[in-house]
Amino acid sequence: MHLLLKIFIAFFKIGLFTFGGGHAMVPLIQKEVVDGKGWIDEEDFVDILALAQTAPGPVAANTSVFVGYRLVGISGAIWALLGAVLPSFIVILVVAMFFTKVANSPVVGAIFSGIRPAVVALVASAAITIGKTAIRDFKGAAICVAAFIAVAILDVHPIFIIIGSGVIGYIFFKDDEIQKLNNKINEQ
C-alpha cells in the first residue's frame, strides 16, 4: 500500500503541474520515475512511451498506466492513472465554473501567452531526451528523419508512421535483438 500511495502522489504531482496536455507531461514523468525515483530505467521508459503512443487514449494517461502496471500490477496502474488525471479533472471543473467570467481578461490572456511557448519547450526537451536513448545508430536516425518528414511535411497519419516504423524496425533490428537475447542467455 505504501508504494501505491507513492505512485499516486508522484503522478498527482505531475498532473498538477503540467500545462499543455499529455505530451507536455512526458518530460515530467521521465524526471520523476526515471531520474528522481529510479523506478524505471531510461530504456524501459522509452519502450513504455512507445507503447503508450500506440494505445488509444492520451499519451500521459497511457504512460502512467504502463508505469504503474510495471511497478505493482493492476492496482499500480489504477493508482497511477488516478494520480495523473485527477488534478486535470479538478482544474477543469474549477476553470469551467469561472472561465466565462475571466475568458476575456488580459491577465489570463497574458498568462496563457507565456505558458504556450514553455509547453513547446517541454515537448521539445522530451523529444531530445528520449531521442538520445531511442536513436542509437544510423538506422534509427534514418527512421526518425523519415517519420518526421512523413508526419510534418507529407501529412501522413501517425498510425501509418507507427505501423510502418514497426515493420521497418523489425527488418532492420531483428537480428540485433536476437543477438542481445542470446547474449543475455549466455551470461546467465
**Does residue 19 sit in helix, strand or coil?**
coil
- Whether 37 and 84 share a structural domain: yes
Nearest CA to 71 out of 38, 99, 39, 28 is that of 39
Question: 15 CB contacts (<8 Å, ≥6 apart)?
Answer: 25, 60, 83, 84, 85, 86, 87, 88
pTM above 0.85, yes or no: no
- Whether 169 and 117 share a structural domain: no
- Whether 10 and 102 share a structural domain: yes
| Region 69-87 average pLDDT | 94
**Does residue 153 sit in helix, strand or coil?**
helix
- Whether 164 and 102 share a structural domain: no
Confidence bin at 37 (pLDDT 50/70/90): very high
Domain that holds residue 93: 2-134
Split into its structural domains, the chain has a count of 2
- Whether 94 and 27 share a structural domain: yes
Q: To the nearest whole number, what is the mean pLDDT of the chain?
A: 86
- Whether 167 and 120 share a structural domain: no
Residue 19: pLDDT over 70:
no
- Whether 126 and 155 share a structural domain: no
Judge residue 155's burial from the number of C-beta atoms within 10 Å of its C-beta, 0-12 exposed, 13-18 middle, 19 or more buried. exposed
- Whether 186 and 122 share a structural domain: no
Q: pLDDT tens digit string along 119-166?
A: 888 888 878 888 887 888 899 899 999 999 999 999 999 889 989 998
Q: pLDDT tens digit string along 103-130?
A: 778 888 888 889 889 888 888 887 888 8
| Region 16-42 average pLDDT | 83
Q: How far apart are CA 50 and CA 34, in angstroms?
A: 15
- Whether 18 and 37 share a structural domain: yes
- Whether 25 and 101 share a structural domain: yes
- Whether 117 and 144 share a structural domain: no
Nearest CA to 2 out of 98, 76, 78, 87 is that of 76
- Whether 97 and 108 share a structural domain: yes
Question: What is the per-residue pLDDT for 93?
Answer: 85
| Region 26-46 average pLDDT | 89
